[in-house]
Amino acid sequence: MLIALLPGDGIGPEVIAEARRVLDALAIPGLTFEEAPVGGAAYKASGHPLPQATLDLAKRADAILFGAVGDPDCDSLERHLRPEQAILGLRKELSLFANLRPATLFKELADASALRPEVATQIDMVIVRELNGDVYFGEKGMRTTKDGKREGYDVMSYNEDEVRRIARVGFETARARRGKLCSVDKANVLETSQLWRDVVIETHAEYPDVELSHMYVDNAAMQLVRNPGQFDVIVTGNLFGDILSDQASMCAGSIGMLPSASLDANQKGLYEPIHGSAPDIAGQGKANPLATILSAAMMLRYSLGQAEIADKIDAAVATALANGARSADLGGTMTTTQMGDAVLAAL
């Protein structure tokens, strides 16, 4: 089983290194690693954020463990050369359309949440985010209006097949949990969302055992803070899912804690922390590696058929937190390596 390691930019290499140490310590038979540059690091080395060799490795690998991309040095490059295009390109090229972002609060972190502990401890949900469509991948550009003003545009669209396949992932995910699916859209304003809602309702006929509800995205943002415990599984589009998952992470303690899986139709996946490259703290040993370590656990569970070992990692993270492991984002002073050490010790 070949794992492609794509550390990327900023804190990416630091957090990937800790996940690698955890995987090495588990000595899983047959697991091999190959590393390749991606994002701003790849652009600086070879002129492209997603070099062909990196894409080939990602296609060849059984699973991909990804750090983060984003580099302020690259912010004025043409869009197709920016670091973010690497992750968008991988998602599209590998048809990784289903993004699972679990948001659960480790009970040890109830005080780290932006919410009151009694509200925060109720969080136990998964955001299922569509990843191959929406305004992210529509026609976009800059143009000049008739009266000479600059105008930027990005077209939002979903076709029914795209909605149906992610809706099914949402229903399946809910079925394996508490059986409640909330579809988030903006059907009161957007045609894209009206189609989304219609198709989700049609798909519900295949899953009569799952309880389906609908919520407008603005209300969902409010409800996530007011009463996050009401959600089991949220299914939503690419843009709304991007925003709501960052918000859910803060309700669950810290953005440094949330892992994610991006899956194709055959459970091949790319696994990454939901946080970005955090250039402001890069290279200082301040990053929390737990989201990446938990992403490695998701990788073992979903793509490599190693659920038991995944459980061990999850438990080791919980133990490390119970023993007081806290990086800066969790209100502590431990370095990235010390956080990795704490997980290794618990293993």
Residues classed as catalytic: 136, 186, 218, 242, 246
Candidate ranges 81-89, 142-150, 215-223, 282-290; the one touching ligand IPM (CB under 6 A): 81-89
Nearest to 16 by CA among 344, 336, 260: 336
For β-strands 124-130 and 98-104, DSSP reports them as antiparallel
DSSP state of 113: S
Contacting Mg ion within 238-267 (CB under 5 A): 242
Q: How many other β-carbons are positioned within 10 Å of the β-carbon of residue 83? A: 30
Helix (H) or strand (E) holding 15: helix 12-26
Of 88 and 325, the one with the shorter C-beta distance to ligand IPM is 88
Cβ pair 65, 6 in contact under 8 A: yes
Helix (H) or strand (E) holding 91: helix 84-93
DSSP state of 328: G
Binding mask 276-315 for ligand IPM (x = CB under 6 A): x---------------------------------------
Of 71 and 84, the one with the shorter C-beta distance to ligand IPM is 84
Contacting ligand IPM within 60-79 (CB under 6 A): 70
- Candidate residues 36, 174, 274, 320; the one interacting with ligand IPM per rule CB under 6 A: 274
Q: Which residues pair with 182 in a beta bridge?
A: 213, 234
Of 70 and 102, the one with the shorter C-beta distance to ligand IPM is 70
Of 252 and 274, the one with the shorter C-beta distance to ligand IPM is 274
> Does residue 134 bind ligand IPM (CB under 6 A)?
no
Helix (H) or strand (E) holding 200: helix 191-204
Of 51 and 237, the one with the shorter C-beta distance to ligand IPM is 237
Q: Minimum distance from CB of 92 to ligand IPM (Å)?
A: 12
> In whole angstroms, what separates CA 234 from the centre of its chain?
14
Binding mask 237-256 for ligand IPM (x = CB under 6 A): -----x--------------
Cβ pair 7, 282 in contact under 8 A: no
Candidate ranges 84-92, 104-112, 153-161, 204-212; the one touching ligand IPM (CB under 6 A): 84-92
Candidate ranges 105-113, 168-176, 218-226, 234-242; the one touching Mg ion (CB under 5 A): 234-242
Q: Tokens 């992470």 — which residue?
A: 249
Q: Minimum distance from CB of 276 to ligand IPM (Å)?
A: 6
Cβ pair 90, 64 in contact under 8 A: yes
Q: How many other β-carbons are positioned within 10 Å of the β-carbon of residue 59? A: 13
> Does residue 162 bind Mg ion (CB under 5 A)?
no
Contacting ligand IPM within 167-196 (CB under 6 A): none
Token pair, residue 155, equals 């077209």
Binding residues (CB under 6 A) for ligand IPM: these are 70, 84, 87-88, 242, 274, 276
